Amino acid sequence: MATKITLRTKSISGNRESLYLDFYPAIPNPKTGEPTRREFLGLYLHSPIKQLKRKDKLIPVYDNNPIMNNEFLQHNEETIIKGEQIRRERENQLGKPEIYSGYEKEQLRLKEMGERNFVDYFKQLKDKRKKTSHDNWVSAYYYLESYTNGKLRFADLSEKFCNDFKEHLIKAPNRRSPTKTLSHNSAVAYFNMFKATLSQAFKDGDLPIDLSRKISPIKSVETHRSFLTLEELNDLVKAPCKDSLLKRAALFSALTGLRHCDIINLVWGEVEYIKGNGYFIQFKQQKTGGAEMMPISDQAYKLLGERKEPGDKIFAGLTYSAYYNKQLYQWIGAAGITKDITFHCFRHTFATLQLSSGTDIYTVSKMLGHRDMRQTQIYAKIINMTKREAANRIKIKL
């Protein structure tokens, strides 16, 4: 049965009439695939409130501003012509598909795709991220949404827009501390996620060109990585902490180099004892997805507490929250340490103490689960800087 398409109007706010196409029978919505009878065109007709008689002329009034009758009529006539053109295009598209070449069909498809909201597409990808990168995707979405007011058509994506957004991220205020700018490496991560979304859109056929290849990323810079000395770590062991779970988890990270997310998800079934070799943990890194078989010391094992069922989490109840950050801050202060220490710094501490104790960089890299040795070399640079600072502390009068 041929689809009948009629141009109709619907009254909306502001004394206007919105033009739409009425399909009978219903057709699949190009965005959702669900049957629909209507397609609003984004075109509007003036519908004056009333007619005023002034100097023997009828003048329509709209929003309390007089509009000349001929201007009013001209606008409506031109708008109806546009609507009728769109109606005929849809009629040809639905009723006479054979008149379109493959190229024309693709152009029509891309035109429809171009009207979709890229910010909504980004949100869909963000919602699929459930691992550690999810928080970064949430933040990246926040900056894209605020920059675009939540509206960005696929058709409006261009190299210029991408580069403008890149500059915005570099100078954007931090969402959690508005008086500060977003950290450089956070901007790097968020823009990389934006580029990854562009790449996925191209793979999905929603973008005609791969914009992600045309725009350069934000260059990373080395950041200062705080860590604890062995003396400071021992001070923390002695210092009181209101939350014993947090204390055990932090010290376990310092002795193993495990990330906060991996410690949260660690279960007893992943910890085993091999006679003659000691304790090991077998787990899959949440950030990299790599399967690991890591030896841990007897001291690290003692921090795990009483053994439970294989499926039970070892550090059950441990989360990332403002509460735990506050407890960590107070614990650091109780030990007399003035450095800016976060939970992740215990991983840095493991790496720097291992290297400074003579463990080769390849072994440390494997224990940290790094895929790229360059990640581990950052800690080697820290050790060299620490040695230089130590050498400069001894001065004599020459």
Residue 29 CA to residue 168 CA, distance in Å, equals: 35
Joined together, the tokens standing for residue 312 give 């039970």
Strands (E), 263-366: 271-274, 278-284, 291-296
Residue 347 CA to residue 363 CA, distance in Å, equals: 15
Does 245 share its domain with 387?
yes
Q: What is the pLDDT of residue 396?
A: 64
Are 62 and 15 spatial neighbours (Cβ–Cβ below 8 Å)? yes
Residue 335 CA to residue 237 CA, distance in Å, equals: 9
Q: Is the peptide bond before 60 cis (omega within 30 degrees of 0)?
A: no
Does 236 share its domain with 350?
yes
Enumerate the β-bridge partners of residue 214. none
Domain end, chosen from 99, 126, 155, is at 99
Q: What is the pLDDT of residue 57?
A: 45
Would the pTM count as exceeding 0.85?
A: no
Domain-embedded: residue 396: no
Q: What is the pLDDT of residue 106?
A: 62
Domain end, chosen from 181, 213, 245, is at 213
Does 49 share its domain with 164?
no
Q: What is the pLDDT of residue 184?
A: 86
* Cβ-proximal residues to 21 (8 Å cutoff; 6+ apart), any chain: 5, 6, 7, 8, 38, 39, 41, 86, 87, 90
Instruction: Count how many domains the chain has.
Output: 3
For the chain (398 residues), the mean pLDDT of every run of 10, in chain order, is 84 85 85 84 75 45 52 80 87 64 61 84 86 78 94 91 94 82 88 95 87 90 76 94 94 92 90 89 64 84 93 91 87 92 89 84 80 71 64 63
Does 189 share its domain with 296?
no
Domain-embedded: residue 335: yes
100-133 burial by CB neighbour count: b if 16+ within 10 A, else e? Answer: eeeeeeeeeeeeebbebebbebbbebbeeeeebe
Domain-embedded: residue 398: no
Residue 219 CA to residue 199 CA, distance in Å, equals: 19
Q: What is the pLDDT of residue 194?
A: 96
Token look-up 């690290």 returns 300
In terms of Cα–Cα distance, which of 84, 385, 15, 75 is closest to 224? 385
Pairing of strands 278-284, 291-296: antiparallel
Side chain identity, residue 119: V
Q: How many residues does the chain have?
A: 398
Does 262 share its domain with 299?
yes
